[in-house]
Chain A
Amino acid sequence: MKNRKTLKTRLIFFISLLFVIFGLAFSVYFYHQTRQILQQELVKRGKTLVYDLARNSKVGFQARNKIVLKQLLEGVMDNPDVVYGMIVTEKGEVLAEEYKDERYKEEIPYVSPPSAGVKITSFKIGKEKFYDFVAPIIIPVETAINDEFLFGGQTTAPTENYSVTTPKESVQGFVRLGMSTFGISMEIKETERVGLIILIITLLLAITILYLYIEYAISPLAELTAVAKRVSTGDLTQRAEVKREDEIGLLAGVFNQMLTDIKNVIKKIQIITKKLTSLSDEVQDTAEEVYSGATAQFKAVEETGSSIEELNASMREITEKIDVLSSSSEESSSSITELTATIAEVDRNMESLSSAIEETSSSISQMTAAIKEVASHIEELFKASENTAASMNQIDKSISEIERNTNETLQLSEKVTENATRGKEAVDYTRDSIREIKQTFSEVAKAIERLNAKTEEIGSILLVIDDIAEQTNLLALNAAIIAAQAGEEGKSFAVIADEIKELVERTSLSTKEVGDLINSLREESTYAKEALEKSDEKVNKSVTLSEEAGKALEEILNSAMLSTERMKEISRSTTDQANGSHQVTESINRIVEMARKISIATKDQEAGSERILHAIEDMRQIARKVKISTKEQTQGSRQIMEAVKNINQMVHFISRSVQEQQKGVEHILDAMNRIQEITRQNQLNASSLESVVKNLNEQIEGLYEIVKYFRIEEEE
């Protein structure tokens, strides 16, 4: 509560101090400003007053009428700020003066008069400040004369002025007014007092509002503080209930959030602590178990150690006995070996006998098989040779047919060759004649060309004739004109001109006819030329065609010749082949005969060999029986020997293993000792573990107690 109070009072104190400073500064400024404005106003007023007074007092001044002037002055003095006033001539004579206070009369200082305008000076008497205004009284000279004349005053001085300076107006006196700032000071003081009162009221109001506001602002803080205090006792269910949206509201929200977070954390810690407690209990139990187990183990190990030592001693005894057994079994083994050797020899002899018989038997049976195979082969050979003979006969037939065909073909190809030769000759002839035609064509074309040229020449000659006829016609015309103009005398001339004209007309007619003829001739020759060109093309084509035909025929001829030759060759070889095949057929037939004979002989041989085979089989069976009995004997002896060997080996094994066992037991003893030591260590460790677990348990309990301190659930 102390803190809260100090904060609040401090705030109020500082803010009101600020107010006071600000108010004071403002009022000082305001006071100064007001004072200045009022003083300016005062000066302005004084200026107007003195100016007006100077103007108004012109008439009174000129008349030197002191009463009028005094009245004017008194009128001015009614103004509360004016403290003194005087009207003085230029020479310093006082015409009228008024004072509000007689003490001013002695104390006002001298002021030098201005030549024109209002002069303002300020001075102080005691604490009072004064403004002094001096204005000249300006009087126009002429009017002054008139006025003087009117008023019957002195005339000398103005006349002198007039004559000397000749100004139109002159300064003849001054008006002086004094104004005190006392009234202003009074007014300002009044204002100041009012201002102070307003300031104080404002201050009080401000402080009150401030106090209220701070109270309002800080109250949630108090709430928060109370909640925090309660929380500090461990009650985490508390919540600050501040429902405002300013910073404090925010703070309360954050505070609540923080409490919730802390509560959650502590909840988790509680759970973990509980788990820890149970775990540590378990650990303690197990540690105790470990300790008791270790103790039991220690005892058991000690017992095991002593029993193993006993075992070791009995082992040593067994070893000695086994050594004796081993020597006796070795002795019996050697005698059995000898027996086995003799039986093996008998067996070996029997074996060789049996194998000899076996070999003989197998070779005989092999021989029999071979004979059988030969017989079957010969049979097959016989059949094959018969088949071959048949097919050979067929081949023979077909070969002779081929021979016949070949001969026919040969004849045909020879005929083809002949025909082709004849055809080629004909084509060559055709080609040559076409070539001749072509040459003739070109000659004809040349002739036509020449004809054309001649025709052209005739045409040009005709043109000349035509031109001459034209000229003559013109001449005849002109002649006719001239004849006409000559009148009677020209008449005979006119007749001649007419005749000339007629001649000309006839000439031009005939030239035209000739021209037409020439034109038709030209056309004809063009046709002829075109026809020639066309037939020339055709001739060219037939030349190339006939040449191609010639070439084709030549090729045919060549191939026909080639084929004839080939045919001849084929025919020759076919004849040879036929001869060959005849010989082959004959020899094959002979082979068939021989094969038949061999086949019969082989069959006889086969029967004999079969009989030998039977005899051998009997012999072999006898030998096999003898061999089996010997083998059985050998096996029996071998088995005995092996048994003895085994016994011997076993005795050795037992001896070795017993020795090894003894060694192992010694190792075990050592290990047991080590185990004993380790177990002892274990025991010690288990006891220390127990104490540690106990300690841990205690710690966890303490933690649990601490966690319990926080109240989380509302109900708890």
Chain B
Amino acid sequence: MDEKELQFAIFKLGDLEFGIDIMKVKEITRYHKISKIPGTPPFIEGVINLRGVIIPIVDLRKKFGMEPREPDKKTRIIVATILKRIAGLLVDEVIEVLRIPAENLKPPPQLGESFKADFLSGVAEKGEEIIFIIDFEKLLSQKEQVDFSKFHEMLSDTQMDNNKPDSEDSKQEKQYSKSTRKSSRKNKKKKSKKSGDSNEE
């Protein structure tokens, strides 16, 4: 059982519940004010400044074509790793971290050719409700992926002044880790945990 147990961060968009692999999640944070940057690709809403790190934000409501909604106190940003880069996902609410046995995980339903459900990596059942497990990397189209990378490069170029060039791919990730380390130094509660996290990377 232990080995075949997967963990997902469960979040809500309207009435629907979605899950995202917890290993991709860096952090869950409250809503920060999103700053618009000219020249961003259309699927990127803007950026937030999380403890000195600039993180591009994708509004999942927008991405799924749902009605936009004013942020409230339950609104969350899931900071996750996408294509080895950091991105924030704007969601209505994060409910919990759910452990799901691998057996309970089912392949996504075939919804027809017209509907592309590539981004669904599976469906899990939680009591009566159905949770859609999302692979965020597949949610972005080819072009969007390229745009996303370019945007990241642009961000890192502007931020590079303070940092030494490292391995090109994981530049931002490193930076984020660094920042969390800094912040963890300040937050004594999570100090040990965060350092462990960074060590792992």
Which A residues are closer than 8 A to B by beta carbons? 470, 474-475, 477-482, 484-486, 493, 497, 501
Contacts and interface: CB of A to CB of B under 8 A. Distances in A.
B97 A481 contact: yes
A479 B196 CA distance: 12
Contacts, number: 48
Given A484-B7, A484-B22, A485-B22, A477 B97 contact: yes
A474 B95 CA distance: 9
A212 to B, nearest CB: 121
B134 interface: no
Contact of B96 (A475, A477, A479, A485): A477
A485 B23 contact: yes
B200 A481 contact: no
A474 B28 contact: yes
Contacts of A484: 7, 22-23, 97
Contacts of B7: 480, 484
B28 A485 contact: no
24 contacts: A474-B30, A475-B190, A477-B28, A477-B96, A478-B27, A478-B190, A479-B190, A480-B96, A480-B97, A481-B25, A482-B193, A482-B194, A482-B196, A484-B7, A484-B22, A485-B22, A485-B23, A485-B197, A485-B200, A486-B193, A486-B196, A486-B200, A493-B193, A497-B97
B126 interface: no
B73 interface: yes
A481 B193 contact: no
B75 to A, nearest CB: 12
Given A480-B22, A481-B22, A485-B200, 15 more contacts: A474-B94, A477-B9, A477-B96, A478-B190, A480-B7, A480-B97, A481-B9, A481-B27, A482-B193, A482-B194, A482-B197, A484-B22, A486-B197, A493-B193, A497-B97
B121 to A, nearest CB: 17
A495 to B, nearest CB: 12
Nearest to A466: B73
A481 B196 contact: no
A478 B73 CA distance: 17
A508 to B, nearest CB: 12
A477 B78 CA distance: 11
Nearest to A494: B97
B122 to A, nearest CB: 17
The 5 closest A-B pairs by CB, nearest first: A480-B97, A484-B7, A484-B22, A482-B193, A481-B25
Nearest to A467: B73
B65 to A, nearest CB: 27
A315 B193 CA distance: 193
B22 to A, nearest CB: 5
A485 B27 CA distance: 11
Interface in B93-114: 94, 96-97
A519 to B, nearest CB: 18
A486 B192 CA distance: 12
